[in-house]
Amino acid sequence: MARTFTPKVVTANALLEGDAVWLTEDNRWSPNMAEAELLTDEAHADLRLLEAQGRVDEIAGAYLADAKAGENGPEPTHFREEFRTRGPSNYAYGKQVELS
Amino acid sequence: MYKYNDFDESFVRSRVAQFRGQVERRIDGSLTEDEFKPLRLMNGLYLQLHAYMLRVAIPYGTLNSGQMRQLAFIADKWDKGYGHFTTRQNIQYNWPKLKDVPDMLDALADVEMHAIQTSGNTIRNVTADHFAGAAADEIEDPRPYAELLRQWSTDHPEFQFLPRKFKIAVTGAAEDRAVVRAHDIGLQIIRNDTGEVGFQVIVGGGLGRTPMVGKVLRDFLPKEDLLPYCEAIVSVYNLLGRRDNKYKARIKITVHENGLEKIQELVEDRFKSIRATFSGHDQTLLSEISAAFAPPAYAQKSTDGYEAARLANPAFRSWTDTNLTSHKQEGYAIVSISIKKHGNTPGDASSDQMRVMAELAEAYGHNELRISHEQNVILPHVHKADLPAIYQALRAADLATANIGLVSDIIACPGMDYCALATARSIPIAQQIATRFDELKIEHDIGELKIKISGCINACGHHHVGHIGILGLDRAGVENYQITLGGDGTQTTSIGERAGPGFSADEIVPAIERLVTGYMDLRTDESETFLQTYRRLGMEPFKTILYPAEDKANAA
């Protein structure tokens, strides 16, 4: 039986700032996960990751992270990925203040 | 304190210049991340969850006021106005931008500091007793030896690509405040039967995935053999240590798999063959270094004002009861400044607080500060007459929490709030535990209790040697916290035992509260510490407290 593919997003850290970024359908790196391209096909996801990994002067450490479709776009399914969309819990730094 | 010579200065400056070029080539895309990563790690630069992180070495935890002020300046200019003091006596900046890091390193070099070998499979920052040179129970100041080891290990050509990282700690006192039995090499200065001073050499200790208490490799090593003997140990490990599996690559596994006797044989053989190549230059260097660590010019003053202030001000008295340690010099005390205000992040100091501590060290502390592995800041040489003024200044800077060694003096790693390796958060758990016990107003009644929290199995938060250890894990996509009991990081080192199933983020603080109040019912009297009660009674009564019978029945 074919195993079902959990939807993914391509994510990485921006080279200069070091913050979390997500690959959009139009090939931008967005600091906002909701703008990411939600990848529902495994072969396409692998291809998008390869393309992302080639962009060495923009990002570091690209990988595929589990995601789900939400009202405003892709959302994280694991707490680690959720923290990456937000920032640390001990201070109001990072995306929780930068994006609002 | 040690002062850089021309060689140190030019070495550090040239490394900054090299790294500046490497950063430029990374930014323009001529270096890939795979190529750049080992280079940035050699210079202490990590890429974490939300940003880069720069780990700056504070050799054996010692720094002067000028250096502390520069750390504050760096925090303001290139970071977010604070720094995190770590369990290896270093400081970490959590928000640097890649292009700024070479400037940060230049600013560090201006005050004889650097970030070299704070990462990578090299010999890391050598740590030492944070009360070194001041403690009443000390045989000798361990820092000259730590500095000698730092110079020997920095850029040592044979040891830049070890099987895994390598950590050395030195203490000069019988009471082990440097956790020497949980290091790759632990050195304890001892006096032998004939009164000669030397080292007991401990090897193969470590926490992490496979926690082990170090074993005595040599009962007594003459002082002048220190470098050749350490070189023998590291070179034996360099050849024998496993490179096929990163989880089995630390020397603790090498010792475990080969046996202490075989390691002893190999090290002694190697030592014999290299001893003669150390022609005495190291000893000349050591005597120069030792001169730099001469005791300060102690003052003679009356302590009447101090005693009067203690009587007049209960808050001051409480602070002096918990935050002072005996000094070897009459009239003096060692001050531990708590970086653990209830509800704050353990080990985080703002740039303003750093400047206050620098000023106090300059005005009252012979210009010296220390960072402890327990993430507090120490003023090692303070005359008791100056304590009331110091206390007032600390209060004004929110640095006067009277909780050293108590339940809220918690070690916590950055956990998943910052660290890319973490499996759960540790900071919020530490904040909540400290806040809860502050509300209960019982921490002084509880007495000495060390809680240590790690956000992953690598154990930067030393949870294995906490009287109560907490390990944050990812259990099926939810943060889960495992409790270990009976750990000890002192001269009676022991690894804590797992109490049972873990607790959710909501359950862990009530579980700790139950455990601690339960201990208060179990202890013989107020003088029996948590660890002593645990050692007397064993795990069972604590298990009953942690996992009450009705919960078991419900779960079944």
Strand partners, B55: B92
pLDDT score, position B550: 55
Among candidates B29, B98, B417 on the partner chain, residue whose Cβ is nearest the Cβ of A90: B417
CATH at residue B206: 3.30.413.10
Task: Tell whether B417 and B391 lie within a shared domain.
Answer: no
Among candidates B48, B52, B95 on the partner chain, residue whose Cβ is nearest the Cβ of A93: B95
Last residue of a domain, one of B109, B133, B167: B109
CB within 8 Å: B47 and A13: yes
Task: Tell whether B159 and B93 lie within a shared domain.
Answer: no
Entry field: residues in chain B: 556
Exposed e or buried b per residue across B300-325, where buried means at least 16 C-beta atoms within 10 angstroms of its C-beta: eeebeebeebbeeeeebeebbebbbb
Whether B118 maps to a domain, the answer reads: no
pLDDT score, position A3: 76
Whether A63 maps to a domain, the answer reads: yes
Overall number of domains in chain B: 4
Whether A36 maps to a domain, the answer reads: yes
Domain that holds residue A61: 8-98
Q: Does B52 touch chain A (CB under 8 A)?
A: yes
Nearest chain A alpha carbon to B346: A90
Kindly report the nearest CA distance between residue A60 and chain B, in angstroms. Answer: 6
Contact B203, B161 (CB under 8 A): no
The tokens for B481 are 């916290």
Restricting to B residues 74-133, those with a Cβ less than 8 Å away from any Cβ of A are 80, 94-99
Last residue of a domain, one of B263, B292, B321: B292
pLDDT score, position B556: 43
Exposed e or buried b per residue across B244-263, where buried means at least 16 C-beta atoms within 10 angstroms of its C-beta: eeeebbbbbbbbbeeeeeeb
One digit per residue, pLDDT tens: chain A, 100 residues? Answer: 567 899 999 999 999 999 999 999 999 999 999 999 999 999 999 999 999 999 989 999 999 999 999 999 999 999 999 999 999 999 999 999 988 7
Residues of chain A contacting residue B425, judged by C-beta atoms under 8 Å apart: 83, 89
Using CA atoms, how far residue B275 sits from B187, B219, B226, B553, in Å, is 19, 18, 10, 65
Sheet holding B45-47, edge to edge: B45-47, B52-56, B91-93, B82-85, B348-350
ipTM for the predicted complex: 0.96
Nearest chain B alpha carbon to A54: B32
Query: pLDDT tier at B549 (50, 70, 90 boundaries)?
Result: confident
Whether A47 maps to a domain, the answer reads: yes
Give CA–CA dist B158/B115, Å, rounded: 20
Strand B168-171 to strand B185-191: parallel, antiparallel, or no bridges (unpaired)? Answer: parallel
Residues of chain B contacting residue A84, judged by C-beta atoms under 8 Å apart: 49-50
Kindly report the nearest CA distance between residue B32 and chain A, in angstroms. Answer: 6
Task: Tell whether B339 and B433 lie within a shared domain.
Answer: no
Entry field: residues in chain A: 100
pLDDT digit string (tens) for B194-250? Answer: 999 999 999 999 999 999 999 999 999 999 999 999 999 999 999 999 999 999 999
Tell me which residue of B14, B100, B110 sits closest to B70, measured CA to CA.
Answer: B110
Contact B483, B432 (CB under 8 A): no
Whether B1 maps to a domain, the answer reads: no
Query: pLDDT tier at B503 (50, 70, 90 boundaries)?
Result: very high
CB within 8 Å: A93 and B27: no
Helices (H), B413-454: 427-440, 443-446
Contact A64, A9 (CB under 8 A): yes
Kindly report the nearest CA distance between residue B373 and chain A, in angstroms. Answer: 21
Q: Does B51 touch chain A (CB under 8 A)?
A: yes
* B31 contact partners, CB below 8 Å, separation of at least 6: B22, B25, B39
Whether B544 maps to a domain, the answer reads: yes
Q: What is the mean pLDDT of residues B65-84?
A: 98
* B355 contact partners, CB below 8 Å, separation of at least 6: B68, B69, B72
Whether B334 maps to a domain, the answer reads: yes
pLDDT digit string (tens) for B406-419? Answer: 999 999 999 999 99
Whether B204 maps to a domain, the answer reads: yes
Q: Is residue B528 scored above 90 in pLDDT?
A: yes
pLDDT score, position B136: 94
Give CA–CA dist B349/B328, Å, rounded: 28
Whether A16 maps to a domain, the answer reads: yes
pLDDT score, position B238: 98
Tell me which residue of B528, B513, B483 sits closest to B501, measured CA to CA.
Answer: B483
Q: What is the mean pLDDT of residues B449-468?
A: 97
Overall number of domains in chain A: 1
Interface test with B, best of A66, A79, A90, A99 (most B CBs within 10 A): A90
CB within 8 Å: A18 and B418: no
CATH at residue B84: 3.90.480.20
pLDDT digit string (tens) for B111-123? Answer: 999 999 999 999 9
Kindly report the nearest CA distance between residue A21 and chain B, in angstroms. Answer: 10
pLDDT score, position B498: 98
pLDDT score, position B551: 53
The tokens for B53 are 């992180």
Task: Tell whether B469 and B510 lie within a shared domain.
Answer: yes
Whether B192 maps to a domain, the answer reads: yes
Nearest chain B alpha carbon to A89: B417
Interface test with A, best of B34, B46, B49 (most A CBs within 10 A): B49
Task: Tell whether B183 and B97 lie within a shared domain.
Answer: no
Q: Does B374 touch chain A (CB under 8 A)?
A: no
Residues of chain A contacting residue B26, judged by C-beta atoms under 8 Å apart: 15
How many of the other CB atoms lie within 10 Å of CB of B64?
A: 20
Sheet holding A59-69, edge to edge: A29-30, A20-23, A8-14, A59-69, A74-76
Kindly report the nearest CA distance between residue A99 and chain B, in angstroms. Answer: 13
Q: CA end-to-end span of chain A, whole Å?
A: 44
Whether B125 maps to a domain, the answer reads: no
Interface test with B, best of A6, A11, A15 (most B CBs within 10 A): A15
pLDDT digit string (tens) for B384-430? Answer: 999 999 999 999 999 999 999 999 999 999 999 999 999 999 999 99
pLDDT score, position B424: 98
CB within 8 Å: A18 and B477: no
- What are the strands, taking DSSP E only, across B122-184? 127-128, 168-171
CB within 8 Å: B98 and A16: yes
CB within 8 Å: B427 and A61: no
**Residue whose token pair is 């009277």:** B402
Q: Is residue B144 scored above 80 in pLDDT?
A: yes
Long-range contacts of B285-291 (CB under 8 A, 24+ apart): B285/B148, B285/B151, B286/B144, B286/B145, B286/B148, B289/B2, B289/B144, B289/B147, B289/B148, B290/B144
Strand partners, B474: B479
Helices (H), B281-386: 281-292, 304-312, 314-323, 351-364
CB within 8 Å: A15 and B26: yes
Whether B134 maps to a domain, the answer reads: no
What type of residue sits at position B336?
S
Residues of chain B contacting residue A93, judged by C-beta atoms under 8 Å apart: 50, 80, 95
Q: Is residue B379 scored above 50 in pLDDT?
A: yes
Strand partners, B452: B411, B469
Show which residues on chain A lie within 8 Å of chain B, measured between beta carbons: 13, 15-20, 56-57, 60-61, 77-80, 83-84, 87-91, 93-95
Domain that holds residue B252: 142-292
Q: What percent of chain B has pLDDT over 90?
A: 98
Whether A3 maps to a domain, the answer reads: no
Task: Tell whether B456 and B532 lie within a shared domain.
Answer: yes
Task: Tell whether B195 and B268 lie within a shared domain.
Answer: yes
The tokens for B546 are 């942690």
Task: Tell whether B473 and B510 lie within a shared domain.
Answer: yes
Residues of chain B contacting residue A92, judged by C-beta atoms under 8 Å apart: none
**DSSP secondary structure code for residue B482 in this structure:** E
